[in-house]
Amino acid sequence: MSNHSAPPPSSFAHLRPTNGRGALILTAGCLVTALAVVLSARSGWVGWALGQTALAIVLVHWFTVLHEAGHRTLFRSRRLNTAAGYLAGFVAMIPFRAWLRVHARHHKWTGWQDLDPTAEGLVRDDLSSLQRTIVNVCWRCWIPLFSILYRLENYWNLRRLAVMFPQRDDRTAMLVNASLQLAAYAVVVALVGPMFVLNGFVAGLVLSLMLEDLLLLSQHTQVPVQLSRGHTVSPVPAIEQAAFTRSLRLPPWASALLLHFDAHELHHMYPFVPGYHLRRVEYRPPNEIGWWAWLRASKRIDGVTLLFQLKADH
């Protein structure tokens, strides 16, 4: 199908979530997570390495489960999506209540970088020499700085969240969710011991953040952007947002494992379509690129250029 004739959203109204598919995805995530923990606890480095590799992959999977639950596209049931969102947010280390509000605003303002809460921090030209060095070294050495800051600044920074969402109900819900999630982490550490956490979780977590760095940075960096510069502007309609994002072509098995999160243009154009149905959308968007080609091209430039050099559309 032509890149210039994107089907209208009504063409895919039949692609809706099902409780059965959501349950299968959630169950698979829980089983693989349990297997990864068991393997990591086994004596011998081979079992540990297999466990940590499985853990890294399933942690990225849990991030995409959080993403689907936040869009209410994992299950047909709203309550099941909410329950899955809290569970996935706990595993992915992102409070679900903050994710709901921030990610919704991201979709609303995709295309206007200084209004998108997940991208507005990249609109700056005042980095110190030390900051530039840190960004460049982390990008060159595969240190997942972006995925860490992405979590801390967008979903754990309660002061910033309170400014973005001043309604009392929002602020209270985010504070309670973040507090209970931190308390739950403390309980887990107390029950299994800090050494078990260090040995059985940290390596897999770091590897998962490295993978997320590549996945997240592929989606909105070095694509044309618009800047409102304080003027009143209108959101870009979802069907027109492909121009402001990028898709990767992962191997089919990896794309399925990540609920086709790599098909990011299609997701922005048709956000109501469950990720596990996205490849049924018969349209190839204009900014899709093979994952290896993007990785090679992005690693040829420094981190500051990748993150902060805007390709302004206006």
| Residues 80-134: tens digit of each pLDDT | 999 999 999 999 999 999 999 999 999 999 999 999 999 998 887 788 999 999 9
Residue 3 confidence class, pLDDT cut points 50, 70, 90? very low
User: pLDDT (tens digit, 9 = 90+) per residue, 212-261?
Assistant: 999 999 999 989 889 999 999 999 999 999 999 999 999 999 999 999 99
User: pLDDT (tens digit, 9 = 90+) per residue, 7-46?
Assistant: 999 999 999 999 999 999 999 999 999 999 999 987 789 9
CA 178 to chain centre: 18
**β-bridge partners, 226:** 112
**Residue 1 pLDDT exceeds 60:** no
Listed by start position, the domains of the chain span 9-312
**Residue 312 pLDDT exceeds 70:** no
Alpha-carbon distance 125 to 196, whole Å? 42
Per-residue exposure over 273-293, b if at least 16 CB sit within 10 Å of its own CB, e if not: bbbbbbeebebebebbeebee
φ/ψ of residue 224, rounded to 5? -55, 140
Alpha-carbon distance 288 to 277, whole Å? 18
Alpha-carbon distance 111 to 268, whole Å? 11
* Residue 240 near residue 9 (C-beta atoms within 8 A): no
The residue written with tokens 């466990």 in the block is 51
The pLDDT of 52-64, averaged and rounded, is: 97
Cα dist from 106 to 49, 94, 129, 139, 220, whole Å? 36, 16, 30, 24, 11
* Residue 25 near residue 259 (C-beta atoms within 8 A): yes
